[in-house]
Amino acid sequence: MVELYVNGGPFMHPLLLMLLFGIAVSIERFWSLWRSSIDTREFFTAVQEALKQRGPEGVAEVCASHRGPVASVLHAGLLRLDRGLEHVEKAIEESGAIEMAFLEKGMVWLSTVANIAPLLGFLGTVSGMISAFESIAAAGDVEPSIVASGISEALITTASGLVIAIPIQALHNLFVSKIDKIIIDMQESSSQFIDELIQAGYDTPAGE
């Protein structure tokens, strides 16, 4: 492996940095998205029961005891309940936008690594072929041993770029799918929560 890295030429250094960066971002995204995931059905059932039995205070306790964006957006809406449902919906929308930004944090970097790694590999290929032709020109002969080093560099960098890009792109797609599911859960839970508040008689501001 070390020999391949050395034979790959100077473009192996930025490729290695991109690999390490991609791994670091992937680990951070996996951890964050895992912590953001909850059993939405179980959570919302607890919210319904708390609203019926203890009112908004009970729902606030349920939200506080659960991690993730779904609980956060509902809790943000509860803080505006005394102003009426219009303010609740606005608070949920604002909180949802913040949570979405957090969920998507770092995804652009994974996409960048997946897109640039093959290009760096191809650039290394061009560099290797240039070296091969320069060796031919200097020797005035086309011996396999003369061009082998340049061609080896070209193939190694191409393969390295693809080896980095393929799993990073797969992880990116996996994370995007997970983010989409969490966003759908947020939207569905928010809509159902508003309906529950209306049915419970919280559709007017406090004091009216």
Domain ranges of the chain: 2-199
The pLDDT assigned to 56 comes to: 87
The greatest distance separating any two alpha carbons of the chain, rounded to the nearest whole angstrom, comes to 95
- pTM for the structure as a whole: 0.82
The pLDDT assigned to 19 comes to: 94
CA–CA distance, 30 with 126 (Å, rounded to integer)? 35
The pLDDT assigned to 205 comes to: 58
- Low-confidence spans in the chain with pLDDT less than 50: 206-208
The pLDDT assigned to 207 comes to: 46
Angle value at C-alpha 37, between 51 and 179, nearest 5 degrees: 115
Beta-carbon neighbour count of residue 10 at 10 Å? Answer: 10
